[in-house]
Structure 1
Amino acid sequence: MPIARKGWVVLDCPDPLALARFYAGLLGGEPKVEESNDRWVELTTEDGWRLAFQRAEGFQPPQWPSAERSQQIHLDLYVDAVEEAERQTLALGAKALDTDDEGGKRGFRVYADPAGHPFCLVQGSFAT
């Protein structure tokens, strides 16, 4: 029997609503903000991911790749068509970090969300 169940994946950021909107555009769902607490925004995607975004004063985004300011956490997001997914992801405000997937041999490309958190778009054929 497990000790715990999955809960929220929480990302620190300077603007929780803006980052929640970015991920809603990428993954679906609708950001939820409690009127009494704009420091915390929740997003539940259509397939059940539960992401939360928490305001962190003095937030310093990770640097990729960097030992001094490591990524700390990243999301792998599976896509069917990486070229089209990349175009849409960049249009949402992502920044390309490492998009040389060696002609499709590597199977993933690395981006940063608008707050600087790295994530990967993984070609569906490489997903396990």
Structure 2
Amino acid sequence: MADYPQLLHTVLDTPEVRQLAEFYRLLLGLQYRPGDEPSADGDDGVDWLVLTDAHGNRKVAFQQVDRLERTTWPRPDVPMQMHLDLTVPDRETLEIQHRRAIDLGAELLLDRTDDPDEPLYVYADPAGHPFCIFVA
């Protein structure tokens, strides 16, 4: 039996590391890896952060870049390149999470909640990375 590489976490580039980490921490109910918490003075100047689940498993990381071109999806000028799929169990929860995402700073790119088989919303996070929340 072969040993396969294991996915540690997904890394998102961003010009604002702490801001994007906070967005996903609040959206997904994650926590900072020990040592990655915000500094007391609020000026931590970090270029790399990791979020984990309640068991300490790494879920998503954030890496500083000087410039990030936002996707223009659904126009093809700047493709998505990658996106995160997030699921909820039912339409009621979809609407609750939709409001939370918008309140946290997500930009709605597509509303496909009229689809009877797979209602979904597509957003851009504050750095412009696309992600979906849908009923599955």
Unaligned runs of 5+ in 2: none
Quote the Cα distance in structure 2 between the aligned partners of 1:27 and 1:113.
13
- Is residue 2:86 matched to residue 1:55? no
**Larger gyration radius, structure 1 or structure 2:** 2
- Partner secondary structure for residue 4 of structure 2: coil
TM-score (norm 2): 0.80
Query: Map of 1:99-118 to 2, 5 A cutoff?
Result: 99-102=111-114, 104-118=116-130
- The structure-2 alpha-carbon separation of the partners of 1:78 and 1:46, relative to structure 1 and needing over 3 Å to count, comes to farther
Unaligned runs of 5+ in 1: none
- What root-mean-square deviation, in Å, do the aligned CA atoms of Structure 1 and Structure 2 show? 2.2
For 1:89, the equivalent position in structure 2 comes to 101
Contact preservation (8 Å) 1:21, 1:31? no
Quote the Cα distance in structure 2 between the aligned partners of 1:26 and 1:122.
14
TM-score (norm 1): 0.85
Contact preservation (8 Å) 1:27, 1:45? no
Residue 60 (structure 1) shift? 1.2
Large movers: runs of 4+ above 4 Å: 34-37
Quote the Cα distance in structure 2 between the aligned partners of 1:104 and 1:17.
37
Identical residues among aligned pairs (%): 35
